[in-house]
Amino acid sequence: MNYAVIPFFLVVASLAVILVIVIRKLPQLTLLNVGTIPEVKEEKKKVELFKKRVADKARRMRSVRLERLVPLLVKWKSWQRAFRQYAGRIEQRLQRERERGKRILNSAERAGRQEQLRNLLSEAAAAFAAGNLAAAEEKLISAIRLDAKNVDAYRGLVDVYFKLGNLKEAQETCLFLLQLNPHDDVTMARLAELAEHDGRLEEAIDYYEKAVLLNDHVASRFFRLGELLEKLGQHATALEAVKQAVDIEPQNPKYLDMLVETRIMVGDKDMAEQGYQQLRMVNPENQKLAILKDKIDGLSPP
């Protein structure tokens, strides 16, 4: 018999017994709660107490830091508010300076443009007086490019076109001026002159009537209106127009002369005599006095 294997079998048997015991006790071991062990519980309490102390200390330190920071935060907010106010004042000042700079620039630009405009109109007038109509037209158009509503430039063009014989362009320019200002009596009278020059007398009368309605202080317009009415045989209406001219300029011998002539035409002997006396006092050397006197004497008494 081999006694050497006996210890081996004893070891194996011991292990088998231990294994059986462990297997039987395994469910109980798995149900064992380590936390219920007194030592473990005590250690856990220590850890929790340490964590609580650390948290309390952190809260206290944070509270202390906040207390220390409050004055700094107040100062910081005050400084921010002061800085914003300062920055706002600076921005307002800069804005005012920018606006002032723009006004100065715009004023300088306007002044420069006005000076250039005056020069162009002056050069156009000089060219027109010298008979250089093409140069005058060019200067006036350049002036209009600077100021599209410059009345003097358009009126200058009317004179140029009239001088060139371009009555249609002159009239169209006048009509455009009336679009800019429907109450422009000067342009209305200019249209009357253009129509009269073109032989359109009734149209000229219409424009003159509109001109004197817009401005009843210009004697020459009343006088010219009376002449045109006289040409068309409208003596009574012509007389009223001439009377208006004489009322404005009572010492004008030309107007008085026509006043007497018109009164003779309508057969008003007394008023003709009165006009004759006015004319004789204003212009005693008038060569027509004797002729007018004979015409008046030939009228039947009223």
Over range 111-116, report the average pLDDT: 86
Q: What is the pLDDT of residue 109?
A: 75
Cite the beta strand spans of 52-126 per DSSP E.
none
Q: Which residue in the block uniquely carries the two structure tokens 């026509």? A: 258
Q: What is the pLDDT of residue 105?
A: 47
pTM to 2 decimal places:
0.63
Over range 205-226, report the average pLDDT: 96
What phi, psi does 148 have (nearest 5°)? -70, -10
- Between the alpha carbon of residue 287 and those of residues 177, 278, 279, 293, the distances in Å are 43, 15, 11, 11
Residue 9 above 70 pLDDT?
Answer: no
Q: What is the pLDDT of residues 21-59, one digit of tens each?
A: 656 655 554 554 545 556 656 666 665 766 676 666 667
Q: Percentage of the chain surpassing pLDDT 90? A: 52
Q: What length does the chain have?
A: 302
DSSP for 9-69, written as a single string: HHHHHHHHHHHHHHHHHHHHHHT--GGGSHHHHHHHHHHHHHHHHHHHHHHHHHHHHHHHH
**What is the pLDDT confidence band of residue 111, given thresholds at 50, 70 and 90?**
confident
Catalogue all structural domains in the chain, each as residue range(s) with its CATH number. Answer: 96-166 (1.25.40), 216-302 (1.25.40.10)
DSSP for 229-295, written as a single string: HHHTT-HHHHHHHHHHHHHH-TT-HHHHHHHHHHHHHHT-HHHHHHHHHHHHHH-TT-TTHHHHHHH
Q: Which residue in the block uniquely carries the two structure tokens 């830091």? A: 65
Return the DSSP state at 4: G
State the Cα–Cα distance between residues 37 and 58, nearest whole angstrom: 32
Q: Considering only CA atoms, give the Rg of the chain.
A: 58
The residue that leads in pLDDT, 43 or 119, is: 119
Q: Percentage of the chain surpassing pLDDT 70? A: 67
